[in-house]
Chains A and B, each alone.
Chain A
């Protein structure tokens, strides 16, 4: 859907055309679902959060000014809703080797001893280990690390998705990365 088509749908929606509103809903839904799945807080159901975002977008649809592309506006609502949910989660101050499962400890050992990529069978343990490491970060930093390293977005894309400035993103990324490095080093020392 182009910007002009979105604008037309919005105009029709303002006149009460439900078909146009449904078209917009089906246009934005995959985007919202993808973003929520990628930035889902650990203890939250994806379906509930997607529903929350969709309802928030639809109830503010008439307030969309058109200054930014429609999907960017939707993304910001989705990202901020995810961020608010992450804020409700308890932050883990420090992660210890004893908190890790056997598979997660094996992942650390494998990373330290072999230079290659991890096996496909270790993906699940790697994913859980990353989640545990990220739990020590501030909510905004956690979200940023996910967008940057797990979804593979660059600074410009994250700026569009979140509305944060490029400088803020770089500062947050640097700080979060330093925090992760420190915690990962502690784990390595414990494991050695």
Chain B
């Protein structure tokens, strides 16, 4: 083995920390972890509500659009058709 590699390996072996056996849970971490889990659950529920709201809004827009479509895209203007009818009536009344 390359002497430098051998020295590096010995250096790493010496630098290894002894395996720490026990890690007590710090005070309050359990509560904070539970709060984080609950918070995530609430956020997810909130997102679901927003989804329902958005879907409702889209459906409302579609219904509104569908009901307004015939009015907005009528080939003849209803008001001008009314005036034309009136003129015809007047003309027929003046005829002796």
Contact = CB atoms under 8 A, between A and B. Distances in A.
Interface in B26-42: 26, 29-30, 32-34, 36-37, 39-41
Nearest to A33: B23
Contacts of B2: 181
A149 B13 CA distance: 7
B25 interface: yes
B73 interface: no
A152 B26 contact: no
Interface residues of B, number: 29
Interface of A: 13, 16, 18, 21-22, 25-26, 29-30, 33-34, 37-38, 47, 50-51, 54-55, 58-62, 107, 111-112, 117-118, 122-123, 126-127, 129-130, 149-152, 177, 180-181, 184-185, 188
29 contacts: A13-B37, A18-B34, A30-B23, A33-B23, A34-B20, A34-B23, A37-B17, A51-B26, A55-B32, A55-B33, A58-B34, A58-B36, A58-B37, A58-B40, A62-B41, A107-B14, A118-B11, A118-B13, A122-B14, A126-B15, A130-B12, A149-B9, A149-B12, A150-B15, A150-B17, A177-B8, A181-B2, A184-B11, A185-B4
Interface of B: 2, 4-5, 7-17, 20, 23, 25-26, 29-30, 32-34, 36-37, 39-41, 44
